[in-house]
Structure 1
Amino acid sequence: MTIQPTLRVVDHTGQDPDLAQARLDQVFFALSDPVRREILERLDGQALLVSELAASFDISLQAVSRHIQVLVRTGLVQQERTGRISRCSLDAGPMLEAAVWMNRYSKYWQQQFDLLAATLADIDERKAQASVSRQPRKSAAPRTPRKK
């Protein structure tokens, strides 16, 4: 019997399951867009101005701002405003719920990897057996030619 490690998060806050599902939906929606994923990557380890974020995209500043607002509503980005200047920073916390949800399905991938490993081991064993059977057999005593 094998014991497989699992990661289980227990909700002690009494959070409504429908609310938790809605938050998970928001995170996956936010991550579904390549522009928003790029914004999160750029914010990894640093805070940037909205204008600095927008400079790397071929879309308008207004479009980038809309993407940032989606990330702010999801909780993935914190936005700090000082007058007209807006600085953004990453808050990866909401992604933990998504990672935990996806981790529940890792057992299916692990089964596939285990099957692949067993198949590769079987192939290696067959190759080893085939190479042994192809080698010429050596007799115990050397042959001497017969005299006539």
Structure 2
Amino acid sequence: MVKHTDEQLDLVFSALADATRRRVLTQLEQGSLTVSDLARQHAMSLPGFMKHLAVLEAAGLIARSKEGRIVRCTLEPAPMRDAAQWIAHYERYWTAQLDALGRYLYHQEETCQPTPEKSASSGTTPSAPTNSGAPGPTRKR
């Protein structure tokens, strides 16, 4: 398994847990964008949006560079690859566990065939019991 620091993985998974931050990463797949261009596509204040960028930068998922007064953001995919490798390790583990369970259940089904129940039916179905008592007196006219 690839060695990762727990703190770094925590930061990556925490950053990816938010839909706004995932949309930012999707926007950056096409190339670097300015903070203004990124923020324009989200319905929130610029200070609120900058907090999302800070989380992404702390996780190492984006890099910011300043050109004069313009700040550009660029996608850094390496931490996502590390997280994907971590997930893939456990995917292999659970796939193996589920495969073993499937083999066990198949073996149980093959070796423990239930015997069909014999019906004691004589061709008639007994009527359902009623909870009412005997009929009461009838009134003659």
Q: Shorter-chain TM-score category?
A: 0.5 to 0.7
Question: Residue 98 of structure 1 corresponds to which residue in structure 2?
Answer: 83
State, as a whole percentage, how many aligned pairs show the same letter: 37
CA RMSD of aligned residues (A): 2.3
Counterpart pick for 1:30 among 8, 12, 15: 15
Distance 2:99 2:64 in 1: 42
Following TM superposition, by how much is the alpha carbon of 1:62 offset from its aligned partner in structure 2, in angstroms? Answer: 1.5
> Normalising to structure 1: TM-score of the pair?
0.61
SS at match of 1:78: strand
Length, aligned pairs only: 102
Question: Residue 59 of structure 1 corresponds to which residue in structure 2?
Answer: 44
Residue deviations 1:22-48, cap 9 Å, x none?
011000111011100000010013100
Listed as ranges, the gaps of 5+ residues in structure 1 are 1-7, 12-16, 120-148
Residues 88, 113 of structure 1: CA spacing in aligned structure 2 closer, same or farther, 3 A cutoff? farther
> Normalising to structure 2: TM-score of the pair?
0.64
Question: Residue 21 of structure 1 corresponds to which residue in structure 2?
Answer: 6
Indicate yes or no: 2:67 matched with 1:82.
Answer: yes
Residues 113, 67 of structure 1: CA spacing in aligned structure 2 closer, same or farther, 3 A cutoff? farther
Structure number having the greater helix percentage? 1
Listed as ranges, the gaps of 5+ residues in structure 2 are 107-141
SS at match of 1:104: helix
Distance 1:92 1:86 in 2: 19
Question: What letter is aligned with 2:86?
Answer: W
Between 1:83-92 and 1:101-110, the stretch displaced more is 101-110
Question: Residue 42 of structure 1 corresponds to which residue in structure 2?
Answer: 27
